[in-house]
Amino acid sequence: MIEKQGNVMFFASRPSVLFGAAVGGKAEGDGPCAKEFDFCYDNDDINCKTWEQAEAALQKEAMQRVLQKANLPPQDVDVLFSGDLLDQCVASSVAAKELKIPMAGLYGACSTFASGLCMAGIFAESQAAKTALVCASSHFCSAEKQFRFPLEYGSQRPPTTQRTATAAGAVLVGHGKSGCCIEAAMIGTIQDLGITDAANMGAAMAPAAADTIARFLKLTKTQAGDYDCILTGDLGSVGSQLLCQILFHNDLDISAVHEDCGNLLFDIEKQDVHAGASGCGCSAALVSTMFRRKIEKGELQKVLFVGTGALMSPLSVRQGESIPGIAHAVLLSRK
């Protein structure tokens, strides 16, 4: 049964994050987190004809690698929670149709992986599923084409932009032996402070991250220092600074324990990625591998993962509307 403190859901049985895998593209393989990935391609087309197919291929491979590690055939997975940034989450549909796993499609932009972990925790805790697969992906080329300009156009990107990760991450959640578990989760509320700049996702998401973190700490009567890491994904350098500023104005200083997946995936200076990384695949890849492993090994005991999403529609941005942000929190801890 799920116990609640306000809107925070606690999972008494502490469902395990049993296995994880991530695959990436060329820039990810050239970056400081390359060794965390199961595999990085040396091209961005992932040997496919279109960027959309390439993204679907990344998702499919991440899921297949998790299932191989678990030695579990796809038909034994009870439910798949997946999503991506593309219109109608098409990369997820294409990847899921080949694996033939019951699929609950999610939409939360870059918060999708956190949203999926929330759902997997609830399904495992309530025995709605014995095993739940969570997967999210993004692709630099499919995302730029859809949200801003096709790369072939050669447009100059302003300093506030983040480079969408070409990556997919997947985990298998269930009950079994693992050093990493989902202890609690909280579904976030949309925050919108009126950002209309499609090239500044960090600013659109920071208020939602701040709201979710402040609320989670208040409801659980904990402080930033009670966590080894408060991990946002993916605010990048601009959004991370804004998040710390907003919280600081509310008498919360998280700077000592704050990390952001968007600041970790690339070498921001050397790889010329402006304000860092973004995209569903960024936090999905790093949480599925690096952070899961650090918790398993005991290097980190408690990680408050806050997946942040800019629910940006290119159409509504062109219509002059602002970009709503959302952030879901998942407390990952050592079991």
Is residue 87 near its own copies by the rule CB under 8 A?
yes
Closest to 251 in 3D by CA, of 292, 302, 217: 217
Q: Quote the strand ranges of 151-236, DSSP E.
A: 163-164, 167-174, 180-186, 229-233
Burial of 242: CB neighbours in 10 Å, binned 0-12, 13-18, 19+ = buried
Contact, 195 vs 204, CB < 8 A?
Answer: yes
Does position 78 bind its own copies by CB under 8 A?
A: yes
Residue nearer to its own copies on the CB measure, 69 or 130: 130
247 in helix, strand or coil? helix
Q: Judged by CB under 8 A, which of 18, 57, 62, 109 binds its own copies?
A: 109
Give the number of other Cβ atoms within 10 Å of residue 1's Cβ.
8
User: Tokens 């949203």 map to which residue?
Assistant: 115
Q: Residue 314 interacts with its own copies (CB under 8 A)?
A: yes
Distance of CA 18 to the CA centre of its chain: 18
- Please report how close the Cβ of residue 43 comes to its own copies at its closest, in angstroms: 19
Tokens 């990493």 belong to 180
Query: Backbone dihedral region of 315: left (phi > 0), alpha (psi from -120 to 50 degrees) or beta?
Result: alpha
Please give the DSSP secondary-structure letter assigned to residue 156. Answer: P
Confirm or reject binding of residue 305 to its own copies (CB under 8 A). no
CA 138, 191, 201: angle at the middle one, nearest 5?
40
Cβ-based neighbour number of residue 194 at 10 Å? 10
Residue placing its CB nearer to its own copies in the complex, 70 or 86? 86
- State in angstroms the smallest separation of the CB of 16 from its own copies: 18
Please list every residue from 128 through 157 that binds its own copies, using CB under 8 A: 128, 146
Cβ nearer to its own copies, comparing 43 with 88:
88
79 binds its own copies per the rule CB under 8 A? yes
Q: Select 33 or 210, whichever has its Cβ closest to its own copies.
A: 210
Nearer of residues 187 and 300 to its own copies, judged by Cβ: 187
- With left for phi above 0 and alpha for psi between -120 and 50, is residue 88 left, alpha or beta? left
> Can you tell me which of 46, 62, 67, 94 binds its own copies, judged by CB under 8 A?
94
Token representation of residue 267: 């070498």
219 binds its own copies (CB under 8 A): no
Question: Which of 67, 122, 275, 295: binder of its own copies (CB under 8 A)?
Answer: 122
Q: How many chain residues touch its own copies (CB under 8 A)?
A: 58
**Among 57, 86, 205, 254, interactor with its own copies by CB under 8 A:** 86
Contact between 7 and its own copies per CB under 8 A: yes
Residue 192 in contact with its own copies, rule: CB under 8 A: yes
Nearest to its own copies of 33, 141 (CB atom)? 141
Q: Which span sits near its own copies by CB under 8 A: 4-12, 57-65, 227-235, 273-281?
A: 4-12
- Closer to its own copies by Cβ: residue 87 or 299: 87
Q: 247: buried, middle or exposed (CB in 10 Å: 19+, 13-18, 0-12)?
A: buried
d(Cα 298, Cα 51) in Å, to the nearest integer?
Answer: 38
Q: Under the rule (CB under 8 A), what is the footprint of its own copies?
A: 1-4, 7, 9, 50, 52, 78-79, 83, 86-90, 93-94, 96-97, 100-109, 115, 118-119, 122-123, 125-128, 146, 186-192, 311-316, 319, 321, 324, 326, 328
